Structure 1
Amino acid sequence: MSHLTIYYIATWTSALIALTTAIVYFARPSVILQNFSSLGFPSYLPILLGIWKALGAIALVAPVSPLLREWAYAGFTFNYTGAMFSHLATKEYPKVLPPLIIFGILAISYFFNPNQLHF
């Protein structure tokens, strides 16, 4: 499989996961509100994260500047590592796995992006 194919699969997977999560956050089902509450987060946070995730998903796949895409990768990195740490801090160990896997897919997208700013 070519590097470009790996990049596109990982990038579109990351964007679709983020967009799906944003839609769920906008719907604010009780299970999401309970999960955020169990972590000690306010009930308005899913809406804010939903907006950022939707914008980040667009930035990953739209023809935008490499700097804007870099910000999207950074935002998702903060989000997923923050989610992992939050679940570890509250001893919700099984819930660490989903953000870890999604972060791994995002990292693959980042490192296989041929136009990304790699510092």
Structure 2
Amino acid sequence: MPPRTKQESVKTPKITRENFVPPLNHNAPTSYPWSRKDQEGQPINIDDPMLLDFNCEGWDKESAKRYNSLLNIKILPTRFGHADTLVSLGLDTDVFETLHAMGIAPLCYRTHELYPDLVRQVLATAHIG
């Protein structure tokens, strides 16, 4: 049986905010492609040369793809507490009494103004690590 040898591994350094270097000819701001006031709700061009493949300080192609996929989803306003769910769990009186004692019970019944495009931007750029 031939002797076992350890295979040499080559690790590439992980790209982080500290060691990321954008291409030399790239001059777009980190907020690019925003602000798009006149194009709200329109898909972002993935093939745009100003979008980087990876950008830890702003938008990249992956974020743009997620944003474009979120354009197909209707974002509806919701309330903080869903009364029917709380009733079925048997938590309705406990939750509402606690919120009332804290003085924030009206938050559960009020529908607040919704900004669907900002919700899409947040969801597209959110990274859980």
Which TM-score tier does this pair reach, normalised by the shorter chain?
A: under 0.3
Structure 2 length-normalised TM: 0.26
- Report which of the two structures shows the higher radius of gyration computed on alpha carbons: 2
Q: Which has the higher helix share?
A: 1
* Greater RCO (CA < 8 Å, at least 6 residues apart): 1
